[in-house]
Structure 1
Amino acid sequence: MPRYAVPLLTCVFALVFLGTGVAHAAKLEVDPDAPLWIKLATDALLYAHIGGGAVGLASGVAAIAARKGQALHRLAGKVFFVSMFVTYLIGAGVAPFLEEGQRPNFVAGILALYLLITALITVRQRGPVRTNWRHYVGLATALGITLMGVVFMYMGANSATGTVDGSPPQAFILFIVAGSIAAFGELNVILRQALSYTARISRHLWRMCFSMFIASGSLFLGQPQVFPESFNQTAWPFLLAFAPLIALIVWQGLLRLRGRKLRTA
């Protein structure tokens, strides 16, 4: 984890501690009669979460569009990491304190954080990636996320409402698919004891794009109330939500094509 992640982590958890009074709220809101310090802490968390997500999506688009490895791509990638780190950490940190069930949101936040952090660690390593303790921790995290997806699907299918905290069983396929792919990737590094340059870039690419997809999907499909109804009735919410995955497919194809050219050169 980069050096600036530690102070960020400390600040966010301090805000979570100060904002534990939001536990009685249905969302990240408080009663009008709540103490001032609770209101300030809640507002700080809310605006940091929303602002971080907005900056993260904008910088993510810039990072995807920019030429890879160039100054703009690196700068946009750093901004994306910091802003999304704050957003995901607040989402995962606050979810357990809310009165309404937020178990799926908590796991989604952990998944997004895991993908974001491992993507950055991967690309910052010079030369072939070597196995270390991070891959074992990553494997355990990925397997845990996959297991939670299976558990949530079972709980939703057998609950009276047919959901888990408002989410249908089908929604948890995301946890199973992403967790399984991530676990396979960690296991691949552990067994091979190394990753080539092309595999390292591929690992970075899919983790960053999938992490961004969690944010774009949460915004464009999970928060329709912030957009005009005329916009929601079009295909744009789906296109924008799945844009990171479309970009992932395109860049993975270009990466494989480049790899073939290098092998035949």
Structure 2
Amino acid sequence: MLWKSVLWKPPLSKPARRTPAASAASVLLAVALLATACGGDGSAAKNNVAAADPAASSPPAPHKVVIVVDGKQTEAMTTGTTVQQVLDEAGIKLGPYDLVKPAADQPAGELVKIARLLSKPKLTVVKTPAKTIRKKSDSVPPWSEKVLREGRSGIKIVKWAYVPRKDKKGRTRKVKKVLAQKVKRKPVTRILAVGPQSAGTGSAARLNWAGLAKCESGGNPKAVNPAGYYGLYQFSMATWQSVGGTGRPSDASPDEQTYRAQQLYNKVNGRWQGQWPNCGKFLFS
């Protein structure tokens, strides 16, 4: 009888079935091993738990703020942190053009200023006149002036708006108010050299000029004749200018008018009849 050699094979076993509990345990074990391998001690998990449940913050403590509206001051206790919050708690409403300092969206300090405006602020260019300085000079003829430096007006930018103001009867009026101004160009001062303020011109000074003035104008240096004669000695404009006068004779000082009259007397070589035909005789009284 022949025997066949048969190789023996062990029976195939079925893989063990993993229960859900075992799977969950394996996952937890892997996570723990991974954390240990990375040097973790579980603090991240603790931090996550703490971050998920922050402690409740306390509200800001009330503080005092001074509010000034058009110069009228009030005090308010508030918990507001911005100017707008402070005004809301104080029951103060802003108009569309009101100026607030600090701005409404800025942090509130201890002081808030409000300017009530009835119109939108506008900018206007304004010229500022130049000053005039007069310096005495012996090199300039008496009662005459010489320009040493021309003046120039300045320029400034003025910011203004209409504001409410109450009159004496308690009625609200709209008044123009300057809010701010900025100098764009400074004025340049005009400088004049002024000659001696003397009323004496040689031998003519010894004549009776007061007597002539009394006859011509009643002694009034501002006298004006509709026919075109001015001042103490009733100069015409042409005659006044011929002896160095500027402007109207009646606007000059009495001393200058007398000086110019003496100049005129000398200029015509004492022939007063052509200048003061009716009153010239009083020069010799």
TM-score range for the pair, normalised by the shorter chain length:
under 0.3
Which structure's CA Rg is the greater one?
A: 2
Relative to its length, the structure with more strand (as a share) is 2
Bigger relative contact order, structure 1 or 2 (CA pairs below 8 A, ≥6 apart): 1
Give the TM-score normalised by the residue count of structure 1. Answer: 0.19
- TM-score, normalised to structure 2, is 0.18
